[in-house]
Amino acid sequence: MASVQKSNPGNYFEDFHVGMEIIHATPQTLTEGDIALYRAMTGNRFAQYSSSEFAKAAGFPGLCIDPVHAFHVVFGKSVPDISLNAVANLGYADGRFFLPVMPGDTLSTVSEVIGVKENSNGKTGVVWVRTTGFNQRGETVMSFVRWVMVNKYEMDNPAPEPVVPDLPEAVPAAELVGYPDMKAWDMALAGGPYTFDDYAIGEKINHVDGMTVEEAEHQIATRLYQNTAKVHFDAHGQKDSRFGKRLIYGGVVISIARSLAFNGLANAGQMLAINAGTHASPLFAGDTIYAWSEVLDKAELSDTCGALRLRLVAVKDQDPGAFAYKDDAGKYAAGVLLDFDYWAAIPKR
Amino acid sequence: MASVQKSNPGNYFEDFHVGMEIIHATPQTLTEGDIALYRAMTGNRFAQYSSSEFAKAAGFPGLCIDPVHAFHVVFGKSVPDISLNAVANLGYADGRFFLPVMPGDTLSTVSEVIGVKENSNGKTGVVWVRTTGFNQRGETVMSFVRWVMVNKYEMDNPAPEPVVPDLPEAVPAAELVGYPDMKAWDMALAGGPYTFDDYAIGEKINHVDGMTVEEAEHQIATRLYQNTAKVHFDAHGQKDSRFGKRLIYGGVVISIARSLAFNGLANAGQMLAINAGTHASPLFAGDTIYAWSEVLDKAELSDTCGALRLRLVAVKDQDPGAFAYKDDAGKYAAGVLLDFDYWAAIPKR
Amino acid sequence: MASVQKSNPGNYFEDFHVGMEIIHATPQTLTEGDIALYRAMTGNRFAQYSSSEFAKAAGFPGLCIDPVHAFHVVFGKSVPDISLNAVANLGYADGRFFLPVMPGDTLSTVSEVIGVKENSNGKTGVVWVRTTGFNQRGETVMSFVRWVMVNKYEMDNPAPEPVVPDLPEAVPAAELVGYPDMKAWDMALAGGPYTFDDYAIGEKINHVDGMTVEEAEHQIATRLYQNTAKVHFDAHGQKDSRFGKRLIYGGVVISIARSLAFNGLANAGQMLAINAGTHASPLFAGDTIYAWSEVLDKAELSDTCGALRLRLVAVKDQDPGAFAYKDDAGKYAAGVLLDFDYWAAIPKR
* Inside any domain, residue B8: no
* Inside any domain, residue A246: yes
Query: Looking at the partner chain, which of A33, A207, A215 has a beta carbon nearest the beta carbon of C7?
Result: A207
Does residue C9 surpass a pLDDT of 90?
Answer: no
Q: Which residues pair with C112 in a beta bridge?
A: C21, C130
> Given its phi and psi angles, is residue B266 left (phi above 0), alpha (psi -120 to 50 degrees) or beta?
alpha
B34 and A32 within 8 Å at the Cβ level: the answer is no
> In a 3-state reduction of DSSP, which class is residue A223?
helix
pLDDT in tens, C132-169: 999 999 999 999 999 999 999 999 999 999 999 999 99
pLDDT in tens, B9-48: 889 999 999 999 999 999 999 999 999 999 999 999 999 9
Q: Which of C277, C283, C271, C298 is nearest to C337 (CA)?
A: C283
List phi, psi (to 5°) of B255: -70, -40
Q: What is the 3-state secondary structure (H, E, C) of chain B?
A: CCCCCCCCCCCCHHHCCCCCEEECCCCEECCHHHHHHHHHHHCCCCHHHCCHHHHHHCCCCCCCECHHHHHHHHHHHHHHHHCCCEEEEEEEEEEEECCCECCCCEEEEEEEEEEEEECCCCCEEEEEEEEEEECCCCCEEEEEEEEEEEECCCCCCCCCCCECCCCCCCCCHHHCCCCCCCCCCCHHHHCCCCCHHHCCCCCEEECCCCEECCHHHHHHHHHHCCCCCHHHCCHHHHCCCCCCCCCCCHHHHHHHHHHHCHHHHCCCCEEEEEEEEEECCCCCCCCEEEEEEEEEEEEECCCCEEEEEEEEEEEECCCHHHCCCECCCCCECCCEEEEEEEEEEEECC
Q: Residues of A150-173 as b/e, b for ≥16 C-beta within 10 angstroms?
A: bbbeeeeeeeeeeeebebeebbeb
Mean pLDDT, chain A, as a whole number? 96
User: From the CA of C61, how many Å to the nearest CA of chain B?
Assistant: 15
* Inside any domain, residue A3: no
Percent of chain A with pLDDT over 90: 94
* Inside any domain, residue B5: no
pLDDT at A85: 80
Residue of A nearest to B219 (CA): A216
Q: Which of B151-155, B217-221, C275-279, C285-289 has the lowest mean pLDDT?
A: B151-155
Name the residue range of residue C65's domain. Answer: 13-347
pLDDT in tens, A110-163: 999 999 999 999 999 999 999 999 999 999 999 999 999 999 999 999 999 999
Give the CATH number for residue A315. Answer: 3.10.129.10
* Inside any domain, residue A2: no
Q: Which of C42, B194, B35, B192 is nearest to A26 (CA)?
A: B192
Q: Which of A119, A174, A182, A128 is nearest to A152 (CA)?
A: A119
Q: What is the DSSP letter of A179?
A: P
B209 and A216 within 8 Å at the Cβ level: the answer is no
Neighboring chain B residues of C40 at a CB cutoff of 8 Å: 37, 220-221, 223-224
Neighboring chain B residues of C198 at a CB cutoff of 8 Å: 4, 6
* Inside any domain, residue A156: yes
pLDDT in tens, C116-132: 999 999 999 999 999 99
Q: Which amino acid is at C29?
A: T
**Contact C7/C83 with Cβ under 8 angstroms?**
no
Whether C8 contacts chain A with CB within 8 A:
yes
Neighboring chain B residues of A31 at a CB cutoff of 8 Å: 32-33, 35-36
Does residue C264 surpass a pLDDT of 80?
Answer: yes
Percent of chain C with pLDDT over 70: 99
User: From the CA of C14, how many Å to the nearest CA of chain A?
Assistant: 21
Mutation site for C-interface testing, chosen from A258, A288, A337 by largest number of C Cβ within 10 Å: A288
C63 and B29 within 8 Å at the Cβ level: the answer is yes
Number of other residues whose CB lies within 10 A of the CB of residue A278: 17
pLDDT in tens, A201-212: 999 999 999 999
pLDDT at B84: 85
> In a 3-state reduction of DSSP, which class is residue C108?
strand
Neighboring chain B residues of A36 at a CB cutoff of 8 Å: 33, 36
User: From the CA of C268, how many Å to the nearest CA of chain B?
Assistant: 13
Whether C37 contacts chain A with CB within 8 A:
yes
**Contact C98/C171 with Cβ under 8 angstroms?**
no
Residue of B nearest to C218 (CA): B216
Neighboring chain C residues of A220 at a CB cutoff of 8 Å: 216, 220
Q: Residues of C310-346 as b/e, b for ≥16 C-beta within 10 angstroms?
A: bbbbbbbbbebeeebbeeeeeebbebbbbbbbbbbbb
Q: What's the burial of A56, exposed, middle or buried (CB within 10 Å: 0-12/13-18/19+)?
A: middle
Q: Which amino acid is at B239?
A: K
pLDDT at B2: 47
How far apart CA A37 and CA A44 sit, in angstroms, is 10
Whether A35 contacts chain C with CB within 8 A:
yes
Whether B139 contacts chain C with CB within 8 A:
no
Whether A42 contacts chain C with CB within 8 A:
yes
Q: What is the DSSP letter of C162?
A: P
A36 and C224 within 8 Å at the Cβ level: the answer is yes
Residue of B nearest to A36 (CA): B33
pLDDT at A83: 87
**Per-residue confidence in pLDDT tens, chain B, 349 aa:** 445 689 988 899 999 999 999 999 999 999 999 999 999 999 999 999 999 999 999 999 999 999 999 999 999 999 999 988 888 888 999 999 999 999 999 999 999 999 999 999 999 999 999 999 999 999 999 999 999 999 999 999 999 999 999 999 999 999 999 999 999 999 999 999 999 999 999 999 999 999 999 999 999 999 999 998 889 999 999 999 999 999 999 999 999 999 999 999 999 999 999 999 999 999 999 999 999 999 999 999 999 999 999 999 999 999 999 999 999 999 999 999 999 999 999 999 8
**Contact A184/A59 with Cβ under 8 angstroms?**
yes
> In a 3-state reduction of DSSP, which class is residue C22?
strand
Whether A195 contacts chain C with CB within 8 A:
no
Whether A212 contacts chain B with CB within 8 A:
no
User: From the CA of A6, how many Å to the nearest CA of chain B?
Assistant: 5
Q: Domain total for chain C?
A: 1
Query: Looking at the partner chain, which of A36, A51, A216 has a beta carbon nearest the beta carbon of C214?
Result: A216
Q: Which of C181, C308, C267, C345 is nearest to B26 (CA)?
A: C267
Does residue A222 surpass a pLDDT of 90?
Answer: yes
* Inside any domain, residue C7: no
Whether A215 contacts chain B with CB within 8 A:
yes
pLDDT at A3: 57
Residue of B nearest to C194 (CA): B6
Q: Which of residues 65 through 94 in chain B touch C, CB cutoff 8 A?
A: 80
pTM over 0.80: yes
* Inside any domain, residue C332: yes
pLDDT in tens, A236-276: 999 999 999 999 999 999 999 999 999 999 999 999 999 99
How far apart CA C269 and CA C55 sit, in angstroms, is 12
**Contact B149/B91 with Cβ under 8 angstroms?**
no
Residue of C nearest to A286 (CA): C235
CA B268 to chain centroid, in Å, comes to 16
Whether A245 contacts chain C with CB within 8 A:
no
Q: Residues of C147-183 as b/e, b for ≥16 C-beta within 10 angstroms?
A: bbbbbbeeeeeeeeeeeebebeebbebeebebbbebe
> In a 3-state reduction of DSSP, which class is residue A109?
strand
Q: How confident is the model at residue A86 (pLDDT cuts 50, 70, 90)?
A: confident
Neighboring chain C residues of A194 at a CB cutoff of 8 Å: 6
pLDDT in tens, A48-83: 999 999 999 999 999 999 999 999 999 999 999 998
A192 and C37 within 8 Å at the Cβ level: the answer is no
How far apart CA C99 and CA C136 sit, in angstroms, is 12
How far is the CA of B349 from the CAs of B247, B279, B309, B343, C163, in angstroms?
A: 43, 35, 18, 18, 80
Whether C211 contacts chain B with CB within 8 A:
yes
List phi, psi (to 5°) of A140: -80, 120
Whether C136 contacts chain A with CB within 8 A:
yes
